[in-house]
Amino acid sequence: MKMRIDGREIEVRSGETIMEAARRAGISIPALCYHEAFGGQGHCRMCMVEVQAGGVTRLVVSCTYPVTREVEVKTSTPAIEKIRRDIVTLLYKRAPDSDFMERLYHSYGCSDNTLHANLGERCIMCRLCVRACEEMGVSAIAAVSRGTDKRIATPYDEASPDCIGCGACADICPTGAIEVIEKGSRRVIWNKVFEMADCQRCGRPFATLAQLEYLESRLDRDVVKQRLCSNCRRKEVVGKVRRYNASLPFV
């Protein structure tokens, strides 16, 4: 199936979203809540595009709109750019402490002097953290409450028994909104204190004990029998490959 996007003709699989097809063809559509690992969420509305299908033109969200027939897509029009500027403005005013949002605000040429800046806030509610936590199989955090009060939290803001302190949420957060404090052999995240495990090779604390135990419970023990940091694990693998290659008869 074909789809015309910004004048270019690209190949689409039926049912695939506009965002997926565009990214495969190397066309980027701005987005804040999209991650290729999770697919579209439809929260941020930055990725709105204009779709023409069967004589009807409308604005759709490219990360959730499935292509099921021939469509013509424009990723940028004056109307779309205005929406994006408004969204960036609204999010910057919500999370003015985020450098990421500040850069975006300036790069989109937004200007607003009247809306109240919500000082101290960094979260833009893209919920990538929630999706990451879900993918880890843990689901310790979620979007709680409703309306303008909606926010990301553990149940009742208490230390969650499910949280393994892996920090995947903080890693994926585009605005640095999730606080991770690491001090010596301790990590504090989501109001919960974790003991860290030291790398068996370099001795650096690299993961929480809870995370390693969780992984061990889910994976083949052999895979995680050595507790190594990512650097040392790489060295270990490279060494293994070298030894294996050396053991091969020279061809």
Residues near other proteins (CB under 8 A): 42-45, 48, 59-61, 64-66, 79, 82-83, 86-87, 90-91, 93-94, 114-116, 124-125, 142-143, 145-150
Distance of CA 17 to the CA centre of its chain: 18
Choose between 173 and 189: whose C-beta lies nearer to other proteins: 173
Q: Six-digit token pair at 114?
A: 């009247």
> Which SS3 state, helix, strand or coil, does residue 163 take?
coil
Instruction: Tell me the closest approach of the beta carbon of residue 152 to other proteins, in angstroms.
Output: 11
Choose between 90 and 180: whose C-beta lies nearer to other proteins: 90
Instruction: Tell me the closest approach of the beta carbon of residue 173 to other proteins, in angstroms.
Output: 16
Instruction: Tell me the closest approach of the beta carbon of residue 5 to other proteins, in angstroms.
Output: 17
Choose between 130 and 138: whose C-beta lies nearer to other proteins: 130
Instruction: Tell me the closest approach of the beta carbon of residue 121 to other proteins, in angstroms.
Output: 12
Choose between 87 and 166: whose C-beta lies nearer to other proteins: 87
Task: State which amino acid sits at residue 228.
Answer: L
Q: What is the DSSP string of 98-152?
A: -HHHHHHHHHTT---SSSPP-TT-------HHHHHHHHTT----EEES-GGG-EE
Choose between 142 and 170: whose C-beta lies nearer to other proteins: 142
Choose between 79 and 237: whose C-beta lies nearer to other proteins: 79
Is 142 within 8 Å of 130 (Cβ atoms)? yes
Task: State which amino acid sits at residue 57.
Answer: T
Instruction: Tell me the closest approach of the beta carbon of residue 103 to other proteins, in angstroms.
Output: 18
Instruction: Tell me the closest approach of the beta carbon of residue 47 to other proteins, in angstroms.
Output: 11
Which is it for strands 151-153 and 180-183: parallel, antiparallel or unpaired?
unpaired
Please state the φ and ψ torsions of residue 66, each to the nearest 5 degrees.
-85, 135
Give the list of residues 6+ apart from residue 19 with CB closer than 8 angstroms, or none.
29, 31, 34, 40, 47, 62, 63
Task: Find, among 165, 226, 231, the residue nearest to 200 by Cα.
Answer: 226
